[in-house]
Amino acid sequence: GIPGERGQYNGKVTLLVVLSCVVAASGGLIFGYDLGVSGGVTSMDPFLKKFFPNVYRRMKEGTKISNYCKFDSQLLTLFTSSLYLSGLVSSLFASTVTRVFGRKASMLVAGVAVLIGSALGGAASNLYMLVFGRLFLGIGLGFGN
């Protein structure tokens, strides 16, 4: 078009457009919600006892605990950041998958990844299941967005 010229588009706001916007916005909500959950759950004694016993022991033994570096655990940091990192990396690949295979394939990958991540997280009996569950949830978020 000519610079400065405004085009007339006959696009309509359909149910599909609204649902697409809701799904995109939900990705941000889920990341924010997860930040609160992972921050809250990592300070709960039962969670730390089961998955991070060394962190729990250090927390209970330490009389002077800095809020800045309360846990000092690389594994706990891996747990909390795994969802964000996998979401970031998978969103980089999602555009290529969408361009080559279409939106349905991307949404199918997103849905399957979220189901796998939820199942692993819900059934987690050790730290690795927990981290892999969060990785799959991040892949689902990256592809879904």
What are the angstrom distances between the C-alpha of 24 and each of 28, 42, 49, 103, 145? 7, 28, 36, 13, 5
pLDDT digits (tens, 9 = 90+) for 6-31: 666 567 788 887 887 787 777 667 66
Tens digits of per-residue pLDDT, 36-66? 667 677 777 888 888 878 888 877 776 565 5
The domain in which residue 124 lies consists of: 16-144
Question: Can you list the pairs that 71-75 forms with residues at least 24 positions away whose Cβ atoms lie under 8 Å?
Answer: 71/42, 75/127
Q: Residue 5 falls within a domain, yes or no?
A: no
Residue 109 lies in a domain: yes
What span, in angstroms and rounded, lies between the C-alpha atoms of 70 and 39?
12
Number of domains the chain is built from: 1
Q: Would 118 be classed as within a structural domain?
A: yes
Residue 98 domain flag: yes
Q: Do the domain assignments include residue 9?
A: no
Residues whose CB is less than 8 angstroms from the CB of residue 31 and which lie 6 or more positions away in sequence, other chains included: 83, 84, 87, 141
Query: Is 74 part of a structural domain of the chain?
Result: yes
3: in domain? no
User: Does any domain span residue 10?
Assistant: no
Residue with tokens 């730290």: 127
> Coil, helix or strand for 6?
coil
Query: Tell me, what's the pLDDT at 31?
Result: 67
pTM of this prediction? 0.66
pLDDT in tens, 87-98: 889 989 998 999
